[in-house]
Every structure is written in C-alpha cells, then in structure tokens.
Structure 1
Amino acid sequence: MKNIFNPIYRQDYLEGYSNGQNPYSKIKSDTPNSAFNEGFDSGRFDYENLNGSVLNGIPKKIINEKILEEFLLAGLLGINIDTEGYTHFQISILLKWYQSGIEKYDPKQNTYLLDILEENGIEITYSEK
C-alpha cells in the first residue's frame, strides 16, 4: 500500500477493496491502477480468509464482520446457533468466534442483559436443536 493518505489513492484502493470483497467480481488484469489492484487483492484476501477460495465455489451464505460478531455475541449469551447453509470451511471459522464468546460467558451478565431487554419490550426466543 503506497500512500493511503492521498485522497485519490485511498478512493481507488477502497473501490478495489470493495470489489475484492464481492466474490462475483473479477479483477481486470489490464487495469494499470495500482491502488485499485492492491485494494482488490486485499479485499479478496479478506473474503477468502472467511469464506474459502473463490476457485472452490461461492457458498450460499457469505460471512462478513457482522456475522462474526453475531456468533461471538451468541457465545457470550449462551444462545444456540444455526450453521445451516454454511460450508465446512465457514463453520470452522464461525465456531472459533462462537467458542471465543463462550469462553467469556458470564451467566450473571446474561441475566442482567435479558432483564434490560425485557424492560425495553425486547423478547429473546431460544430455539432448541
């Protein structure tokens, strides 16, 4: 990454990163824009770290930071998770985040949070699997 503080470079880099996060987009090999190319490579690298190689196919469900945070929160709260529709590669990633939440699980916090949610009219339903 050259000069991320240059607004033009940063804009091209972020556009490339966004395109790299999209598994359906392909980099244009004839693009001379190094900022875009570096952003694309970085975005594709991040995508493939969570979802597996694009060459192995595109999964039905795509993992992103929001999904990871939801699995972490589910572990923190001791809530069951649903991994249906995810590939084996993705499940291994999700379980690491869920396990990280479980390690930080505190039953007292769970009770406090459920009380606060209930006071605000938010009901949590548990699914038994």
Structure 2
Amino acid sequence: PIHGDGNYIRDWIYVKDQCEAFDKALHTKGIEGEIFNVGASNERTVIEMTEHILTILDRPKDLIEFIQDRPGREKRRAVDINKIREQLGWQAKTDFNKALEETVSWYVENHWWWEKRIKA
C-alpha cells in the first residue's frame, strides 16, 4: 500500500550505482573520514514509481491501494551530490528506466528470496 496520496518525492538510485559510489569512496586515498551524499538525481514521486512498476509488470493500476499517511512525512527527500561528483568524479551512470526494469526483473526472477520474507 501507499501511505497518503503518494505525491512525496524521493531520489531513486540503482543499487549497482550506489555500490560503485561506495567502492570509489573506499578505494580513494586521502579521503578518510569524509562524508559523501550518494544519489542519482532521479527525483520522482512514489505514485509515479508505483505506476511505472505496474506498467513494466503489465499489471493494472487499480491494484494500487492507498492508506493513511504517516505523521511527519517529508514531501521531498533528495541529496546534494556535488561533493562526491567534484571530489571523486562519481555520478550514477545507469539509465533510470533500464535500472528500474532490471530491478523489477530481478525480483520477478528471484521470488523465492522475497516470498520467504513476506511469510516471516
């Protein structure tokens, strides 16, 4: 279910891009103790993401269920990635649509992994 109306914005990043950022920071000499924000500048609402995933899965949008919003929800959550881009030369590389399709495909192909977590 989606909390509230789903119109809150998040910065979505592909897990492989995020891992690459961590790897770059871990293996760059002279930056010990530095803090870097990692993001992809892919700001989209939760409802947009949900509808996009349903489209990839060829499922109807009437599957979306809205529930009461949680108190204190942030309308926008995104990070400034200028520091990691300038100091490490890193930025997310994967095309957003390709990344989402690969992620959805992984979950479809590996249902055994997440199904046991739902049952727990």
Alignment TM-score, normalising by the size of structure 1? 0.26
Structure of larger gyration radius: 1
Q: Hey, which of these two has a bigger chunk of strand by percent?
A: 2
Structure ranking higher on relative contact order (CA contacts 8 Å, 6+ apart): 2
Q: Hey, which of these two has a bigger chunk of helix by percent?
A: 1
Alignment TM-score, normalising by the size of structure 2? 0.27
